[in-house]
């Protein structure tokens, strides 16, 4: 293999919304590899974060600009890419569009990059990685940041979508150079579902350069005591309604700080809940900030909240970015009792920071135990900081990731996605 670049990473999202792909690209560049990232540009609200990454990235980033006349542009790109997609690897364009209207655009962009390895992030990027690898005699790999079959509700209206997704992943994963997963539970789910070797776990930890310089006894945010939560979107199905009720019931009278873009009508809903709970003045909304500032910002608060409700199988298995941001910021992560978080807490000795899903009384008691006891809070903060220094940081995780990529780049027969006619037949049938 002799591509113009060593590795091409592909995501249907924007780089400012995907810190994992940014960390991976930087790790590969630092390992001496030539790297290209293919991403999209759709939301102006993410542009500030995109530009910050573009300014600092030592590798190439190609953005597919899909703003403006989005439907027309996607249709035209899809027409151009459809023939190449079906001819090169047997995955038809309707099947690709079933997962995202951006998939054909990603295919067209990936075919223009000659690389030795293509790494797909999320299902809409898989057809692009498969098609480009086949076209250029290269390999491809898959990063499962989520268990995508377990996303969304279990209602029957999504059955056809899940069938197409399962067919696409089943076909593609048989020929992957490797598969990585963002949590042990997600790795187990992929191994069980597709009968593949267990994917290598690469946690969403963060660089030590973003860590707090040392543990502190408490946060500096005022008014306090303070509970912190952040995400790209502040909205429902994140356990925040339970959190508001809990701060109203806690004797420590904590303040809840929420950072991110607020979904329509959700601020009003939380304010109403807070008023009913006697905490009308203790819910605060904070603006979005650049992803590489999350750990520095989190350090100002007493504790962090990982309030996932476990409402889908993926949500039950995942370990969120914020969990590792809290650790490296040196603040204790208070975790709902999902499978992923419970197993993680048991592994690293944080069992006492688990509370039953959607149990406001139990969460209030957890607030009181930590925020009402300065010595216990200081001890929990020191332990979180120590865990990040000793184990849960990107420096520990990136070694296994770079090793997997290096192995996939070793000379040998390139993967041939079109060589499994049974898998491709099932994928085609599922898309009908």
Q: What is the pLDDT of residues 264-296, one digit of tens each?
A: 999 999 999 999 999 999 999 999 988 889 999
Which residues share a beta bridge with 234? Answer: 262
> Are the CB atoms for 9 and 21 separated by under 8 Å?
yes
How high does pLDDT run on average in the chain? 88
Where in 275-418 does DSSP place strands (E)? 283-286, 303-306, 333-336, 354-355
For residue 242, what pLDDT is reported? Answer: 98
Q: Residue 421: pLDDT above 50?
A: no
Secondary-structure breakdown of the chain: helix, strand, coil percentages, each rounded to the nearest 5: 50, 15, 30
The SS3 assignment for 220 reads coil
The SS3 assignment for 353 reads helix
Tokens of 14: 């924007």
- Helix intervals (H) in 42-99: 47-56, 70-89, 93-97
User: Using 50, 70 and 90 to split pLDDT, how confident is the model at 75?
Assistant: very low
User: Using 50, 70 and 90 to split pLDDT, how confident is the model at 301?
Assistant: very high
Domains and CATH numbers, the chain: 5-205+395-430 (3.40.50.2000), 208-390 (3.40.50.2000)
For residue 43, what pLDDT is reported? Answer: 87
Q: What is the CA radius of gyration of the chain?
A: 22
Query: How far is it, in rounded angstroms, from Cα 135 to Cα 111?
Result: 7
Query: How far is it, in rounded angstroms, from Cα 153 to Cα 420?
Result: 31
Query: How far is it, in rounded angstroms, from Cα 7 to Cα 119?
Result: 7
Q: Residue 239: pLDDT above 60?
A: yes
Q: Residue 368: pLDDT above 70?
A: yes
Tokens of 88: 């090169």
> Are the CB atoms for 41 and 63 separated by under 8 Å?
yes
Query: How far is it, in rounded angstroms, from Cα 7 to Cα 25?
Result: 9
Q: Residue 221: pLDDT above 50?
A: yes
For residue 155, what pLDDT is reported? Answer: 63
pTM, two decimal places: 0.88
User: Using 50, 70 and 90 to split pLDDT, how confident is the model at 45?
Assistant: confident
Q: How far apart are the first and last CA of the chain?
A: 35
For residue 319, what pLDDT is reported? Answer: 97
Nearest to 118 by CA among 105, 130, 109: 130
> Which of 76-85, 158-167, 334-343 bottoms out in mean pLDDT, i.e. has the lowest?
76-85
Measuring CA to CA, how many Å separate 97 from each of 39, 127, 159, 168, 367?
17, 10, 16, 12, 45
How far is residue 382 CA from its own chain's centroid? 26
Q: Residue 248: pLDDT above 90?
A: yes
Q: Phi and psi (nearest 5°) for 292?
A: -75, 0
Relative orientation angle of helices 184-194 and 159-173, to the nearest 10 degrees: 90
Tokens of 96: 């690709």
Q: What is the pLDDT of residues 145-201, one digit of tens each?
A: 999 999 876 666 567 888 889 999 999 998 999 999 999 999 999 999 999 999 999
């Amino acid at each position: 293999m002799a591509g113009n670049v060593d590795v091409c990473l592909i995501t249907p999202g924007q780089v400012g919304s995907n810190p994992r792909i940014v960390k991976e690209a930087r790790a590969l560049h630092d390992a001496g590899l030539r790297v290209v990232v293919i991403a999209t540009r759709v939301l102006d609200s993410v542009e500030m974060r995109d530009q910050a990454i573009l300014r600092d990235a030592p590798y190439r980033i190609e953005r597919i600009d899909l703003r403006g006349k989005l439907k027309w542009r996607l249709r035209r790109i899809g027409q151009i890419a459809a023939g190449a997609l079906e001819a090169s690897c047997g995955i038809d364009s309707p099947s690709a569009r079933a997962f995202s209207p951006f998939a054909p655009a990603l295919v067209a962009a990936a075919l223009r990059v000659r690389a030795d390895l293509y790494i797909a992030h999320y299902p809409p990027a898989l057809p692009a990685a498969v098609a480009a690898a086949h076209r250029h005699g290269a390999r491809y790999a898959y990063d499962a940041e989520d268990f995508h079959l377990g996303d969304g509700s279990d209602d029957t209206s999504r059955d056809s979508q899940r069938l197409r997704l399962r067919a696409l992943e089943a076909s593609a994963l048989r020929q992957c150079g490797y598969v990585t997963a963002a949590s042990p539970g997600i790795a187990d789910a992929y191994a069980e579902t597709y009968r593949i070797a267990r994917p290598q776990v690469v946690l969403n930890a963060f660089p030590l350069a973003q860590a707090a310089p040392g543990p502190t006894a408490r946060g500096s945010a005022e008014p306090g005591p303070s509970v912190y939560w952040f995400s790209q979107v502040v909205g429902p199905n994140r356990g925040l309604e339970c959190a508001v009720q809990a701060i109203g019931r806690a004797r420590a009278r904590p303040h809840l700080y929420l950072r991110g873009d607020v979904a329509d009508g959700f601020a009003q809903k939380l304010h109403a809940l807070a008023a009913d709970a006697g905490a009308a003045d203790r819910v605060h909304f904070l603006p979005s900030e650049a992803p590489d500032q999350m750990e520095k910002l989190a350090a100002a608060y007493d504790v962090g909240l990982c309030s996932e409700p476990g409402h889908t199988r993926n949500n039950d298995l995942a370990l969120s970015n914020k969990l590792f941001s809290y650790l490296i910021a040196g603040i204790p992560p208070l975790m709902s009792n999902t499978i992923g978080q419970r197993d993680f807490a048991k592994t690293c000795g944080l069992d006492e920071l688990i509370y039953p899903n959607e149990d406001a009384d139990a969460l209030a008691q957890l607030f009181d135990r930590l925020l009402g006891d300065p010595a216990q809070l200081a001890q929990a903060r020191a332990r979180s900081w120590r865990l990040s220094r000793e184990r849960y940081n990107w420096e520990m995780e990136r070694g296994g990731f770079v090793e997997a990529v290096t192995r996939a780049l070793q000379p040998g027969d390139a993967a041939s996605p079109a060589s499994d006619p049974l898998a491709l037949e099932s994928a085609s049938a599922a898309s009908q």
